[in-house]
Amino acid sequence: MAGLGVSCEASFVGELSPMGFTTKQIHAGVSPDPVTGSILTPVYQTTTFVQESVDEYLSKGYSYSRSANPTVRALEKKLSSLEGGFDCTCYSTGMAAIQAVIQASLSGGEHAVVSDVAYGGTYRLCTKIYQRFGVEFTFSDTSDPDAVSAAIKDNTRLILTETPANPNLKCTDIAAISEISRSRGITHAVDNTFLTPFYQRPLELGADIVIHSTTKYFDGHNATVGGAVITKSQDLDEPIRFIQNASGVIMSPWVAWLTLQGCKTLSIRLERQSANAQVIAEFLESHPKVSTVNYPGLASFSQFELASRQAEGFGAMLGFEVHGGVEAGKKLIGALRLCALAENLGSVETLITHPVTMTHADVDKAERDRVGITDSFLRLSVGLEDVEDLIADLSQALDCI
């Protein structure tokens, strides 16, 4: 091997650089356990870490699991590598991750521009909690850079975008909004949960911060809830890391360990799920009982060009409406046998959601109507099942309305 110019000193694959995405999702951030040689990072299920002496406090890097934990740290390093960031912090939920970004970016009397189509929990957090402390929010059509520019005020400190957006898949031009934020000295954070870094890497497009609900595609198995924030620089990482420790909204070691295992199959799962979603979207678009289909991979999608340009795939989320409105939609959901009615997404199982009564129930009706989240809209998170079985289930359910 030495004759081929390959060092015999490399002790683990993490020393080989650069690595492809799928290699990184398996190997980045982890190495065999130095005590036992275990190929899996151990679950360091401990509250505290014994110190050698007062003078050598933190010599091993850990003191108390609220501040840092080796299992969680392995996941943080992996996610940072996948997004191409400076570093990552992990949290108990995706909403805790968004909370950390808001708290690190905004004080009372300051302002943020937020995507007008976003997860209902984001809207609830902004309007029901942080507005009480004097933080201002403008929910803007971030798919329109001019609208974002018009929404910026002298006290704007954060632009928070979600793309593709939950639930109707509206896309935001990350590069264009990042250029606006950079020119005004404003932080741009992107919720990248729907596409993951396998398909979309916002930091490469100019964003400052990436947010994930790790509950979704990184876990992929409906087993955990968690969140992550990846930053592009130390200056952005330090205040967010302070919030993580001070507020205590940390990820548990067991959740981190499970998520580490989910990460290893992210790309192969998402490829299959996205391929299934494309076939299902085309089936639904051609069905006479379906009135609209929202999927970035359809040529009929209003932002197909943008979705094709800024991401390497279209993802496994789609939305649709059926003729007959709310009652027809309820009948369809009730007739489904394979697609489960549930509030998660990104898992190996196909899940269907009625956003108005589930994920976006806390969004004011006037706001939902304004941004096109109608009472009859259904959101489908496509899983790994055989696509023929999924289409058969949808077909028989459509026959019932």
Catalytic amino acids? 66, 119, 191, 216
What is the rounded CA–CA span in Å between residue 93 and residue 89? 12
Q: What is the distance between the terminal CA atoms of the chain, rounded to a whole angstrom?
A: 66
What DSSP element (H or E) covers 317? strand 317-322
Region of 121 (left: φ > 0; alpha: ψ -120 to 50; beta: rest) is alpha
- Would you give the DSSP letter of residue 321? E
Q: Which of 216, 195, 239, 234 is nearest to 101 (CA)?
A: 239
Amino acid code (one letter) for 386: D
What distance lies between CA 266 and its chain's CA centroid?
Answer: 13
Round to whole Å and give the CA distance between 323 and 329. 8
* β strands within 96-155, DSSP E: 111-115, 136-140
Q: What is the dihedral of CA 146, 147, 151, 154, to 10 degrees?
A: -10
How many C-beta atoms surround the C-beta of residue 361 within 10 A?
13
Positive or negative torsion for Cα 191, 194, 198, 202: negative
Cα(136)–Cα(154) distance, integer angstroms? 12
CB 41 within 8 A of CB 260: yes
Which token pair is 294? 């929202």
SS3 242: helix
From the list 214, 199, 254, the residue with the least C-alpha distance to 346 is 214
Asked if 161 and 189 count as a contact pair (C-beta separation under 8 A), the reply is yes
